[in-house]
Structure 1
């Protein structure tokens, strides 16, 4: 069986949950003997460039960031169209919601729906992607199957779109961190004690309210700091709040690769995920794999993913968040119990299972 994936999630994105999902899926399918082809010529995606699984060429931003990305996206799209017209594949799995492929393929199409944030909360977070609800409906109509990454996301799909439940298959995410071998010699400098925040910090990520809530903890426990991993440098608003809260020397931002992120999880007091809504939440599984206690907002899919292996708080309540963090700081036996619970819960998710269940979807429709 030959599965064709396209360029959309990879052209201009160096890191990110969607590109990581597709990269891990393609590699895991290859390990099961499935032919996977990626119609992509140029990319700065770290997962691809640091791997020998796919041949891509990096590029420089000679026109500025966005204009250069648009240029190479157009080049990659033309290459994708070429691959579609050659017809040497059994199933096409586009990696995002651009409809360019509709006129170029008659083969079965599978779409993965990662979250309903844009479609459910358009007024607050309408800028998250440029695919309208109407466009997504058109693509779902054309698709033979839709993969939802959680039962919560499947429920959102049924509520938001005209789509039959039997057309949706839930396939949970997984993480390569379960099999990541970090060399003993790879060590990083970290504070004596710190809380960890991972990823983007915009809008629905609830970062500024989280920052205000955690400031009370950092002032009370002077040995504890906050590290924000990834997500880029602090913007002007974030910097102003950090200064206003008197936390300039207590909060830091770090750029990351997989080894660095694994060590940050491994040595943190806890990983805190304050998002208002997510489709799945891969960092939860990363933290489980690295042996890091997890503190989650009681929202969307989080209880479905983490089960009883996490501490939960009301994302609208600063005091509730502070209480959960204090539990972890003050009770080491509690920390150790949640490390063990996280390890056990993490075994429920695997790349092999994700690849096998996705392959079953392909086989049903090919």
Structure 2
């Protein structure tokens, strides 16, 4: 079986959940003996640069960030078009929603993974989360041999918003490589003594600024506790201004985070907090479970499906709810121990082996139907 993946998830982002999902999937399939190919020439993606199997050339932003990114994107897309046209594969799996390949793929089957419908569900409120309009996504979904949804919540959204026949959708939950990640004992980092952990991007629907405003009084009340933000880029000028306005300059910090650093940050945190308004799955939940970190979540979208009773929940749009639950997790050591135990039990349902085997079954059915 030959599976071709394209450049899209890896071309523009150095980190990110979608790129991590595809990288972990490709790596696991390769280890199972599947002929996995990635059509990309240039990328600064962290996962690719640290792997010999799926090689891409790093590049400098010699024309400035935007102009260089556009140029590199065009080169990668042209290269992907060539690989699609050559047809030396059994199945194609695009990693995002630009429909460039539809002109060239002919009768070759392709499978699409859908992570979330945030843009379609919330429209102008979070419409900038990607650049592809609904009509282009609809065309890709309608022609796909099969669709993978990362949660039942996303599957229901696909049925509701894109009118997809449920029999064409298979739910395959994510898994995390943190379960198998071997962090050397010698790899240690300096952290605050007691801190809450926030992971990933902080813009728009991630709800970071309202979350920070909601917990400001709690951090001031328990001034030995700090908030560590990992990944997602350095604080913006607007975020720095808000942190200063709330009087939290000495209690809110940012860490750049590769996998080893992130693993240690989860391990030592008082709790991991995820205040997002909407997600398709929420990979950091599994990362926290795998490292024994108590989890505090929004009660929205897929979160109850993924975490079930292994997390403490709040209403992300209620300052009172956020504040009360954060104070609860700070004060209740017994609850934190219970959540660690339940998190470990819950993460057993999300193995990489299960995810890969289920994905292989989807591929095999799609190829057989196209024969």
Instruction: Tell me the TM-score range normalised by the shorter chain.
Output: over 0.9
Aligned residue for 2:96?
A: 96
The residue correspondences of 1:12-31 to structure 2 (distance < 5 A) are 12-31=12-31
The residue correspondences of 1:188-203 to structure 2 (distance < 5 A) are 188-203=189-204
Q: Secondary structure at the match of 1:292?
A: coil
Aligned residue for 1:356?
A: 357
Q: CA deviation at 1:327?
A: 2.1
Q: Secondary structure at the match of 2:197?
A: strand
Cα distance in structure 1, aligned partners of 2:53 and 2:335: 41
Q: CA deviation at 1:203?
A: 0.8
Cα distance in structure 1, aligned partners of 2:130 and 2:223: 40
The residue correspondences of 1:1-366 to structure 2 (distance < 5 A) are 1-105=1-105, 106-366=107-367
Q: CA deviation at 1:247?
A: 0.5
Q: Count residues with an aligned counterpart.
A: 366
The 8 Å contact of residues 265 and 287 in structure 1, kept in 2 or not, is answered as yes
- Runs of 4+ in structure 1 deviating by more than 6 angstroms, as ranges, are none
Q: Deviations over 1:110-151 (max 9, x none)?
A: 111100100101110111111111111111111010110000
Q: Deviations over 1:82-131 (max 9, x none)?
A: 11111110100000111110111120011111001001011101111111
Q: CA deviation at 1:51?
A: 1.5
Cα distance in structure 2, aligned partners of 1:285 and 1:66: 33
Q: CA deviation at 1:162?
A: 2.6
Q: Secondary structure at the match of 1:231?
A: coil
Q: CA deviation at 1:77?
A: 1.1
Cα distance in structure 2, aligned partners of 1:148 and 1:243: 41
The 8 Å contact of residues 41 and 79 in structure 1, kept in 2 or not, is answered as yes
The 8 Å contact of residues 137 and 162 in structure 1, kept in 2 or not, is answered as no
Q: Secondary structure at the match of 1:307?
A: helix
Cα distance in structure 1, aligned partners of 2:39 and 2:130: 22
Q: CA deviation at 1:30?
A: 1.1
The 8 Å contact of residues 287 and 293 in structure 1, kept in 2 or not, is answered as yes
Q: CA deviation at 1:171?
A: 0.6
Q: CA deviation at 1:12?
A: 2.1
Q: List gaps (5 residues or longer) in structure 2.
A: none
Cα distance in structure 2, aligned partners of 1:262 and 1:16: 16
Cα distance in structure 2, aligned partners of 1:181 and 1:214: 34
Q: Secondary structure at the match of 2:273?
A: strand
Cα distance in structure 1, aligned partners of 2:207 and 2:78: 38
Q: Secondary structure at the match of 2:343?
A: helix
Q: List gaps (5 residues or longer) in structure 1.
A: none
Cα distance in structure 1, aligned partners of 2:78 and 2:318: 49
Cα distance in structure 2, aligned partners of 1:116 and 1:58: 31
Q: CA deviation at 1:53?
A: 2.2
Cα distance in structure 1, aligned partners of 2:315 and 2:126: 21
Q: Secondary structure at the match of 2:257?
A: coil
Cα distance in structure 2, aligned partners of 1:214 and 1:192: 19
